[in-house]
Structure 1
């Protein structure tokens, strides 16, 4: 069983990221990124977290113990990602979906081109 993940509002999330105490991660899949990403978010798909972790391993190694704040389209996948990370001892929280981020008036940016893991 996974421990329930804390749920933060976009305002709480933005304050923690701006303060440098947390990192924001978009766990949607690459095909979903074209619609925009929350400003300052890292793009790390849930499928990589539950799979080979080609992108997640180096990211987690470089977090220096900061809290990981996760979002997806509406909040389901980010909740799962947060529970997985919490079970592994990582400080993590679910910030819901990009739609809530937009509705709160927080910046949404054009995403960078998705990175393809080295083979």
Structure 2
């Protein structure tokens, strides 16, 4: 029975639960210096606009060497890291991985929630 339970868990366990935060809460935490907001979309997606206070760290960099992610995570230390992408799926997967690694992390979902909440956006030049 224990073997079956272990197998089931390994097949269907999505990792640690990650807190979901609303855009307004994310904006407040960032403004108070309690969290960093990170856009994990790919550089080609950033040209459409990003949350004004967001740091731009592509998810592909996280999964392929962490050239940009490693120094960012060192600086973040025990501060909360709030991730978002286009819909919340990529940021959710990345957030669960960071939680497994011991980071304090939350998922804000998609960038459109930020803009619909009337929070400040900024334009960046396409890098991709």
**TM-score higher than 0.5 here?**
yes
2:119 to 91, 99, 106: 106
Greater C-alpha Rg:
2
TM-score for the superposition, normalised by structure 1: 0.91
Number of residue equivalences = 115
1:27 to 26, 40, 50: 40
Give the RMSD, CA atoms, in angstroms. Answer: 1.5
Matches within 5 A, 1:1-119: 1=13, 2-111=15-124, 114=127
The gaps in structure 2 that reach 5 residues or longer are: 1-12
- SS of 1:101 mapped into structure 2: helix
The gaps in structure 1 that reach 5 residues or longer are: 115-119
Return the offset for 1:87: 0.3
Q: List structure 1 segments (4+ residues) > 3 angstroms apart after TM superposition.
A: none
**Structure 1 residues 53 and 79, CA gap change in structure 2 (3 angstroms):** same
- SS of 1:25 mapped into structure 2: strand
Give me the whole-angstrom Cα distance separating, in 2, the residues matched to 1:84 and 1:67: 14
What residue number does 2:9 align with? none
